[in-house]
Amino acid sequence: MRLLPALAIACLALLTACQTAPVAVPRPVQGPPPKPRIALVLGGGAARGFAHVGVIRALEQEKIPIDMVVGTSVGGLIGAIYAADANSFNLEWTAFQLEKEDLFDFGIMNAVVGMGFAKGDKLEAWVKNHIKIALIENMKIPFAAVATDLNWGQEVVLDKGSVARAIRASAAIPGVFQPVLHQGKILVDGGVTDNIPISVAKAKGADIVIAVDISANIGNTNITNLVGVTLQATNIMFARNVEHSKKDADVLITPLGIGDVGMLDFTQKKRCMQAGIEATQKAMPSIRKAIEDWVAAHTKPVVQAR
């Protein structure tokens, strides 16, 4: 009879030993996987900014969602056109119509009695006429332009208020455009402090940052006037701060073969756009991998026994 209790204890021990520890199993599919918030950061570079149009066109064709746009200088201009409409075809059509004379109101007296060769009135008027959304907070895609406080040297993020005024301030190349009084500050081109404002996108909650660098080739032996001196000094300044900031991009797109396009050369639109398309297509494996890695990292397994 003593055999029965012993047998019961043995059976209980055997059953306990056969139990498995909890294991992680994939989460049952109950809906779409989580999606990262993707920011497109567009750098400054004046006429080379037409490459941004090609980048946006390629991203749209590849169905890469853009949840936020942040831009400096021409990056702010192209970014604002797209953020207001979210249509790359309309963006391309608008960009092809844009000419240097639409933006630059040069005048000798501007430089003599003012603080730049161009006032910037034309640029602001052009933006008002071609971007029908007046306030940044009403954009279809969340948007921010970046400028620089001329008095204190601080980066200024313009994510509220007048679209046209923000773009004018963000693109006010020192010495070329007059500084802009906006939101109680005297502002100049955002490229003075950060020509590819990746940190701004991350501070605003971006999970993945796709940044576009359209910096010029620094070398230039064809400097013949004061405007040329100003633009070359600006190129050097922008290129130096880009070297530091671009390292923080999750994916960096660098359109090739446009570094020699002058800041005021609007004759190279098609070449710049094509370079943007080709650079984005080349970057697509990196973009898709960044998205896949983020989704994998944010799809947590469920721990359960089996």
Give helix then strand counts, H and E, for the chain: 11, 12
Helix or strand (DSSP H, E) at 23: strand 23-25
Tokens of 249: 């991009």
Q: Answer whether 38's CB lies under 8 Å from 208's CB.
A: yes
The DSSP annotation for 34-97 comes to P---EEEEE---GGGGHHHHHHHHHHHHTT----EEEEETHHHHHHHHHHHH--HHHHHHHHHH
Q: Answer whether 18's CB lies under 8 Å from 293's CB.
A: no
Active centre residues (catalytic) = 73, 189
CA distance from start to end of the chain:
36
Exposed e or buried b per residue across 281-301, where buried means at least 16 C-beta atoms within 10 angstroms of its C-beta: bebeeebeebbeebeeeeeee
